Structure 1
């Protein structure tokens, strides 16, 4: 059983519950890889009944042993050991400044790391508590070596690999079936970024482009699909909306613009045939050339339209184009279909 509440741990210890005893292989590996230096100071996290803490004290360390179960600490204190003090502390929820010492030569976590929820955060805070040359020693069951119903008390190989990341030295030893990890030299790594598996297609994304002539008329194309629409289209991979708008404008109309003249005014989201559709409303303020039909398979002709005529076109206006026009001239087009609109501040 995996305990998640302090009351469960208290009941476990009060009822005589125990965990695997410190074995000879563990004792040998600890003596070999983390012997106590002169004046050595150790912190034993999740000390339980104090068996490992007493062993470390007997090996020459002064030991601070912490656990969040008062029932466990009550029993541990019944054995008086020189150089060993106990304190109740929850390493996930309590401030580590409550520890008796600011830094340690050795920090141990035996049979407890699998119970830590925020492992990355806790690990980073423990790194900060190591003295120069100090070591973090984690002793844990391995998931492949325990029955399925006990996987919650063990770490799998991926979790062990995460634990070993960010150290100049991360040795792993076998201790009679337990993994004993000795981690030294905190070494922060530069951030990395990665995707997951290839995603399945989920949404349509693109840009609708608003350009106006010197008289303030807006350019619309009469589509082979029987609708009026703005220049624009889907963005390519790794292409931002402004770049897509400028590229599509030239490909469809031969008008040329610099991407710096393109401003994303809003992101619009609706759906078509059950597929999410995201459209960037892009305003291009300067361009060169005259509109030509560059893609006759898509557009029959391009026309400059007076704004007052847009509600009276007589033929349908492509819905994403209508939403983009409403961003630029709110209220011009009545009865628009629903859309989610996210305005973009002009930088």
Structure 2
């Protein structure tokens, strides 16, 4: 990009000249402080705006990343201005170079004319520029506007649409927009960084299944399995409710399906791992929950799902005559690795004790 702009200016090309409406808005909203002030003109090009600010009473630092532009600016090769000794030109790329290289630590006015659309990391760059603004100072962004849908694609590289212009005011107490001969003239005052917030997007389409499988054993070490109406043996467990963690889902489902209550004491129930496979082309994520302390007696509470609950010897599981529900098999293999040979593939993400404790306290 730097080379392209340097070639642009080296070939004798110019930029859109400063409009009288821009001069008027600058005089109204960003006059030089009494006794003079310091201005920073970012992306100064041939220096027309910088010279106008100097004539208005500012001492100006004008920066650009194109050496050819600065050479022409210093030589007075400008469409409607003459060199001004109050303008100091500096080679600086505001996206890649440190602003510590600027001659002054703070400015009364920072201008960005016709170049904001070319800045990729706009939020970061504006944050750094805002830090260089004196109390009571002003940032002025002057930009072409892509107003119609058909213009957005064709002018995206040089213009901003309304949404992007509104985003400029996100961290300012005052953000005002004016028209300057078809350009958007945006005045920003009083930095007001806000605390970060979170938001969703549009309602997503269903993409994955999430749930928990619970390994619970009796005092003799036997594991509880239910004979499902679907013709498989399965662990207690089920899908997460909205906003519910895997451990919480496992404990809740255990009680709802069997009547057993996991001991709430630390260690009574632990999340061991997250297991990811797929079913019918849909990702499936299962939390492997181990319950080691519980009260109650296994009871069929949902006969529409489970015919009966039985305690099984763990050593018998590799020779069960009926199939195991695949996610249940993966959970069992997490507790007793290698017990069940030939399982379908699964991605297993073990949860460390520290992570499990943190999740339990969240």
TM-score above 0.5, yes or no: yes
Equivalent position SS for 1:153? coil
Offset, 1:258: 4.8
Offset, 1:271: 0.6
**Distance in 1 between residues matched to 2:94 and 2:211, nearest whole Å:** 48
Offset, 1:39: 3.2
**Distance in 2 between residues matched to 1:315 and 1:257, nearest whole Å:** 28
Offset, 1:111: 0.3
Corresponding position of 1:28? 24
Q: How many residues align?
A: 343
Offset, 1:147: 4.6
Corresponding position of 1:158? 163
Offset, 1:339: 0.3
What do you get for the CA RMSD once the two structures are aligned? 1.3
Instruction: Choose the corresponding residue for 1:184, options 185, 189, 204.
Output: 189
**Distance in 2 between residues matched to 1:191 and 1:229, nearest whole Å:** 43
Alignment pair present for 1:134 and 2:141? no
Unaligned ranges ≥5, structure 2: 77-82, 355-362
Alignment pair present for 1:11 and 2:18? no
**What are the superposed Cα offsets for residues 160-192 of structure 1, whole Å, 9 maximum, x if unpaired?**
111011111111111111111110111011211
Unaligned ranges ≥5, structure 1: none
- Correspondence 1:100-249 to 2 at 5 A: 100-144=103-147, 147=151, 149-249=154-254
Corresponding position of 1:75? 72
Greater displacement, 306-315 / 148-157: 148-157
**Distance in 1 between residues matched to 2:88 and 2:10, nearest whole Å:** 21
Equivalent position SS for 1:30? helix
Q: Does the CA-based 8 Å contact 2:263-2:295 persist in structure 1? A: no
Corresponding position of 1:324? 331
Instruction: Choose the corresponding residue for 1:99, options 102, 106, 124.
Output: 102
**Distance in 1 between residues matched to 2:156 and 2:295, nearest whole Å:** 66
Q: Does the CA-based 8 Å contact 1:171-1:183 persist in structure 2? A: yes
Offset, 1:212: 0.8
Corresponding position of 2:43? 46
Greater displacement, 122-131 / 251-260: 251-260
Alignment pair present for 1:282 and 2:289? yes
**Distance in 2 between residues matched to 1:6 and 1:166, nearest whole Å:** 29
Instruction: State the TM-score, normalizing by the size of structure 2.
Output: 0.92
Equivalent position SS for 2:219? coil
- Correspondence 1:53-68 to 2 at 5 A: 53-68=50-65
Corresponding position of 2:80? none
Q: Does the CA-based 8 Å contact 2:227-2:233 persist in structure 1? A: yes
Equivalent position SS for 1:209? strand
Q: Does the CA-based 8 Å contact 1:326-1:333 persist in structure 2? A: yes
Q: Does the CA-based 8 Å contact 1:246-1:258 persist in structure 2? A: no
Equivalent position SS for 1:165? helix
